[in-house]
Structures are given as structure tokens and as C-alpha cells.
């Protein structure tokens, strides 16, 4: 079955710790995205990558970092510099630009900072 997997589903972190969220896709998609969702708000773009070894900042990149060493994988690190990291994080992929291509979403990771 083709799709996107994210792990873990729930993640708890102490303040001051970095944590890495996993995102893997076997759809052979070039583009991958990380979004953050907070209650009552629309999804906001953290980082995106249109091709391996290249990525761009989204609207709320501060306190986050990513890598794209393989086409299938786009991990997100939430660093201690992120002031309010408790949120629901969604990874997505598409064949190309979402202006013309359907986006496929992973099941999400709910991060809670204790």
C-alpha cells in the first residue's frame, strides 16, 4: 500500500529538549511538506522540499529544522528554540507543486511539551 507514515503518533517532550518527528512516503513524490495545526487555526507551513537535498522555509520555520537526504524521508526536528511547540504536526507529499497536484497527508504526530 502506498502512503505516508508518521511516527510517533503521540510524543511528549520536556522543555529544553530537541525532538525529531519522522515522515516517510512510498508514493515516489518529489515534494514534501511539514505543517503545524493549532486549535481554531488553519494549517501553517513550517518547511517544504521540492527535491532531494533542497528545502525552503515556510511561514513559521523559526525553531524548526529539516533534512531531505532521501526522496522518501523528510524528518522534522523541533528544537528548544521553538517557543510554543505543543501542537499537531502533519506531513504531506505531492507529485509536484500543490498548485496543480493533490496533496497526500500522513496521520500526524501530536507533540506535547511538559
Partner 1 sequence: KNEVEQSPQNLTAQEGEFITINCSYSVGISALHWLQQHPGGGIVSLFMLSSGKKKHGRLIATINIQEKHSSLHITASHPRDSAVYICAVGRDDKIIFGKGTRLHILP
Residue 18: all three cell numbers together:
530537541
User: Shortest approach of partner 1 to residue 58 CB, angstroms?
Assistant: 7
User: Shortest approach of partner 1 to residue 16 CB, angstroms?
Assistant: 27
Q: Is 10 in the site for partner 1 (CB under 8 A)?
A: no
User: Which 33-72 residues touch partner 1, going by CB under 8 A?
Assistant: 35, 40-45, 48, 50, 56, 58
Instruction: Report the phi/psi class of residue 58: left, alpha or beta, with left for phi > 0 and alpha for psi in -120 to 50.
Output: beta
Residue 3: all three cell numbers together:
502512503
β strands within 28-98, DSSP E: 31-37, 44-51, 54-57, 64-66, 76-78, 87-94
Selected binder of partner 1 within 90, 93, 111, 113 (CB under 8 A)? 90
User: Shortest approach of partner 1 to residue 52 CB, angstroms?
Assistant: 16
Closest CA to 36 of 4, 82, 5, 81: 82
* Interface positions with partner 1 (CB under 8 A): 35, 40-45, 48, 50, 56, 58, 88, 90, 92, 97-105, 107-108, 110
Amino acid at each position: 500500500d502506498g502512503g505516508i507514515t508518521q511516527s510517533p503518533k503521540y510524543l511528549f517532550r520536556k522543555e529544553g529538549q530537541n525532538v525529531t518527528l519522522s515522515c516517510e512516503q512510498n508514493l515516489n513524490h518529489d515534494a514534501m511538506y511539514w505543517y503545524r495545526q493549532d486549535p481554531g487555526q488553519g494549517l501553517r507551513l513550517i518547511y517544504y522540499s521540492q527535491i532531494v537535498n533542497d528545502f525552503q522555509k515556510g511561514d513559521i520555520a523559526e525553531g524548526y529544522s529539516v533534512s531531505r537526504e532521501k526522496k522518501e524521508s523528510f524528518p522534522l526536528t523541533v528544537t528548544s528554540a521553538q517557543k510554543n511547540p505543543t501542537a499537531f504536526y502533519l506531513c504531506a507529499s505531492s507529485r509536484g507543486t500543490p498548485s496543480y497536484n493533490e496533496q497526500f497527508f500522513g496521520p500526524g504526530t501530536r507533540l506535547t511539551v511538559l
